Structure 1
Amino acid sequence: MDELNDIFFSCKKDMEKILKQLKEEIHRIRLGSKSVASILEKIKIKCYGSTFLLIEVANITIVDNMNITIHPWDRSTLTYIDKAIIDANLGFMPTNKGESIHIHLPIITEEGRKNLMKKIKLQTEHAKILIRNVRKKNNQHIRKLKTSEDFSKAGENRIQKITSKYIQEIEDLFLYKEKEILRI
């Protein structure tokens, strides 16, 4: 029975990791300055012979929904910050103003929104496939256990319930993001 509980725990842990990764990927898909600012905070800047997060070397100011300004604490880091933002390939170009960096976010057209939705749909479908692979792997582990057939079936049913829960969470995440992106 302990082996079965270990399998359930491992299954939940693996599926939770897949869901968390999907949430991070979908969160990176931006719509406005608030979501971009949270992505910018995590960009790694190479300066002073080490690597720092952008939030550790500069202030990030949201001017309005389409504009962000970055004020480094040390002007000598400005070019490093500029380069790191360009290298992050976030879909916009920073403008170096000498004392700060300005980012103007382009307006997303209807076609652009639809392309974002296609990208998100692919990511969610991929996550569902990964979840199902975890289910398959754990069902195989259950079958390898030396237990009765009823015990194995009960274990597989529980794995299926866990799988269904995570698939539903992925669907809910997709629908939430779809509503957010397609809202004009």
Structure 2
Amino acid sequence: MQKTIEATQRSLNTIRTGRANASLLDRITVEYYGTATPLKSLAGISTPDATTIMIQPYDRNTLNLIEKAISMSDIGLTPNNDGTVIRLNIPPLTSDRRKELVKTAAKLAEEGKVAIRNVRRDAIDSVRKQEKSGEVSEDESRDLQDNIQKLTDKYTQKVEQLLQEKEADIMTI
């Protein structure tokens, strides 16, 4: 369940807010010598100010490949290539776009909750199998199932908290 929380956090980090953040580019892969390579393996990524992301490739030959990968991605930013670095200007978000991003964040959080519930289901199934085979008593089985449910509720609440923080971040102008 903790891994699910971490994965949900990483997913939420890829949603852009009004500020430049290098984690926006975490999901972008570049076709490099026939292999899909993560962008951060091919270039240094920095944020010189709140509205710009600067990408400096380690190998200048990859500049056009990186530019193409960013253009083809779903982040909705247009790369500016000056021959040595690529700059991504982060435009201010409109209120409609903010609402769309909040919906996207809610969808990612719901996926995290579903993953937590799947872990709960697997754990409860395991406890029931142990009960049937006689490894644990019926009372122990109920106690374990209650503990699993309490743990599930705790982690679901953590996902909700992550979502609330991200929504506040997105809606802040």
Q: TM-score, normalised by structure 1?
A: 0.79
Please name the residue that 2:68 is paired with.
Answer: 83
Aligned match for 2:79, one of 89, 94, 101: 94
CA apart distance, 1:24:
1.1
CA apart distance, 1:50:
6.0
Number of residue pairs aligned between Structure 1 and Structure 2: 168
* Equivalences for residues 1-184 of structure 1 within 5 A: 15-31=1-17, 32-33=19-20, 35=21, 37-40=22-25, 43-47=28-32, 53-145=38-130, 146=134, 147-184=136-173
Verify the 8 A CA contact 1:42 1:55 in the aligned structure 2. Answer: no
CA apart distance, 1:42:
6.5
Question: Are residues 57 and 141 of structure 1, via their aligned partners in 2, closer, same or farther at CA, if it must alter by over 3 Å?
Answer: closer
Which structure has greater helix proportion?
A: 1
CA apart distance, 1:19:
1.7
- Give the distance between the partners of 1:128 and 1:61, measured in 2 at CA: 32
Deviation string, structure 1 residues 102-149 (Cα, Å, up to 9, x no partner): 211121111111111111112212322232232122212211212221
Question: Are residues 174 and 100 of structure 1, via their aligned partners in 2, closer, same or farther at CA, if it must alter by over 3 Å?
Answer: same
Q: Tell me, which stretches of 5 or more residues in structure 1 are unaligned? A: 1-14
Question: Are residues 54 and 140 of structure 1, via their aligned partners in 2, closer, same or farther at CA, if it must alter by over 3 Å?
Answer: closer
Percentage identity across paired residues of the two chains: 37
Question: Are residues 64 and 159 of structure 1, via their aligned partners in 2, closer, same or farther at CA, if it must alter by over 3 Å?
Answer: same
Verify the 8 A CA contact 2:14 2:26 in the aligned structure 1. Answer: no
- Give the distance between the partners of 2:66 and 2:144, measured in 1 at CA: 52
Q: TM-score, normalised by structure 2?
A: 0.83
- Give the distance between the partners of 1:161 and 1:131, measured in 2 at CA: 12
Q: Mean Cα displacement is larger for which, 97-106 or 40-49?
A: 40-49
CA apart distance, 1:95:
1.7
Report SS of the residue matched to 1:177. helix
